[in-house]
Amino acid sequence: MRLVFLGPPGAGKGTQVKMLSKELGVPSIATGDVLRLEVASGSELGKLVKGYMERGELVPDDVVISVVEKWLKGIDVKKGFILDGYPRNVRQASELDRMLRELGVELTAAIYLNVPEDEIVRRLSGRLTCRACGAVYHVEFNPPKEDLKCDLCGGELYQREDDREDVVRRRFKVYTESTRPVLDYYREKSKLLVIDGVGGIEEVYERIKRAIGL
C-alpha cells in the first residue's frame, strides 16, 4: 500500500496515519513533524521555515519536495509507505508522481478525510501535541491518561503555536486555496477515496480500512 492522506488541518490525518502505518507495518512520514523538529533544533532549514509555519502558510515547495524525495529514496517503496501532510498543492502532487515513476512504483490511493470547518475549529482549539514523538490528543475527545504527558513516550504535551484560532483560520484558507485542488488531481486519476472524517477515532479508522479493502 502506497498512500497519501489529504484533508484540512485537524481532520485526523496524523492520528489515523500512525494507526494504519503500525497495522500495515509500513513507514510513514509527516512533513509537518519533520519541519517542526527542524525548527526546534535551530538548524538552517529550521530557520528558513519557521516564519512560514508560524503564519500558517505553506513552506516553499522545493523544501518539502526535497524532504520527501530524500525520505522515499531511503526506504523500500515497493513494500509500501504513507505520507501525512504531503502533497499540499498540485505541484507537490505531480512531483510525487515523478519521484514514484523514477522509483518504479505507483501510488495506490489518496485518502481524503472529509471534516467540515466548524468541527475543525472545535478539534484544533483543544488539540495537544507531544513535543517528543508528535502524537496528538484532545483535551475532551481523546485526553491523555496523565495531564500533559504523552501516553506513548512520556513526552511533554503542548498546544502548537499554529493551533491558535487566528492561525487556524489562515491554515484553513491555505487549505481551501492550495490543497483542495489536489482532490481533483487524484479524482481525475481515479485514485481518490473520500472518507467521512466525523466520528470517533476507531469509527473513522474502520471506514478507512474498509475503503482500502483491509
Candidate segments 71-79, 83-91, 94-102, 115-123, binder of ligand AMP by CB under 6 A: 83-91
Sign of CA dihedral 44, 159, 54, 174: positive
Torsion of CA 1, 184, 176, 82, to 10 degrees: 10
Q: Which of 29, 64, 124, 168 binds ligand AMP (CB under 6 A)?
A: 64
Q: Do 11 and 115 contact (CB within 8 A), yes or no?
A: yes
Q: Is 35 in the site for ligand AMP (CB under 6 A)?
A: yes
Please give the size of the binding site for ligand AMP, defined by CB under 6 A: 17
CB 151 to ligand AMP: min, Å: 20
Smaller CB separation from ligand AMP, 85 or 214: 85
Strand partners, 129: 136, 158
Neighbours of 47 (CB within 10 A): 11
Q: Tell me, residue by residue from 92 to 131, as one string, x for binding to ligand AMP by CB under 6 A and - for no binding.
A: x---------------------------------------
Edge-to-edge order in the sheet of strand 28-30: 28-30, 81-84, 2-6, 109-114, 192-196
Smaller CB separation from ligand AMP, 9 or 12: 9
- Select from 114, 112, 120 the least CA-distant residue to 170: 120
Q: Do 23 and 208 contact (CB within 8 A), yes or no?
A: no
Separation between Cα atoms, residue 185 and residue 3, nearest integer Å? 15
CB 88 to ligand AMP: min, Å: 4
Q: Which of 85, 115, 150, 197 binds ligand AMP (CB under 6 A)?
A: 85
Candidate segments 15-23, 85-93, 111-119, 142-150, binder of ligand AMP by CB under 6 A: 85-93
Torsion of CA 133, 137, 139, 144, to 10 degrees: -70
Smaller CB separation from ligand AMP, 32 or 80: 32
Residues that bind ligand AMP (CB under 6 A): 9, 31-32, 35, 52-53, 56-59, 64, 85-86, 88, 92, 162, 171
